[in-house]
Amino acid sequence: MAIKVPSAAEAAKKWGEVTPGRQGYYEAGAKAAGGDWESQTVAAAAAYKAAISAGNIQQMFAGGVKKAGAAKYTRKITDVGASRFSQGVTAAVGDMQTGIEPMLATIASVTLPARQPRGSAGNLQRVSVVADALNKKRLALRAAGA
């Protein structure tokens, strides 16, 4: 005997009507899960490496992007992203400050080589000094788990 299931349209309609009312459950569960998320995600580092090293990962990635498509991307920006943008920025001010502070301190600690005449390849060295310092800082922060 076949299993009776609702149509995709019926399931999506019910999901769309019922799920928004579950915001409190989502918030409570998500807040309580932070420690588990961190420990389990760290423990999954080897699985992550294996997954991104799989022989067909490029095809799977491209296939996922093509499946979603530009139309879904644009629709989600219009329907969801734009209305949440300013709220997301406001909520991220502290994170932005924490994240950029070590980079700004690194830039401030760099001593640039002397400026050369306009068009001189020596001026690119000034850029390179900053880029190298920032990359070293980024790698040091990642290694430290920051």
At residue 110, the pLDDT reads: 95
Decide: 126 and 112 in contact? Cβ < 8 Å: yes
Q: Going residue by residue through the chain (146 aa), what tens digit of pLDDT does each one get?
A: 888 988 999 999 999 999 999 999 999 999 999 999 999 999 999 999 999 999 999 999 999 999 999 999 999 999 999 999 999 999 999 999 999 999 999 999 999 999 999 999 999 999 999 999 999 999 999 987 65
At residue 146, the pLDDT reads: 53
Decide: 110 and 129 in contact? Cβ < 8 Å: yes
Exposure string over 84-94, b if 16+ CB within 10 A, otherwise e: eeeeeeeeeee
At residue 12, the pLDDT reads: 94
89 three-state secondary structure: helix
* 75 CB neighbour count, 10 Å cutoff: 12
**Listed residue (136, 138, 110, 137) closest to 125, CA to CA:** 110
Q: What are 55's two structure tokens?
A: 């022989």
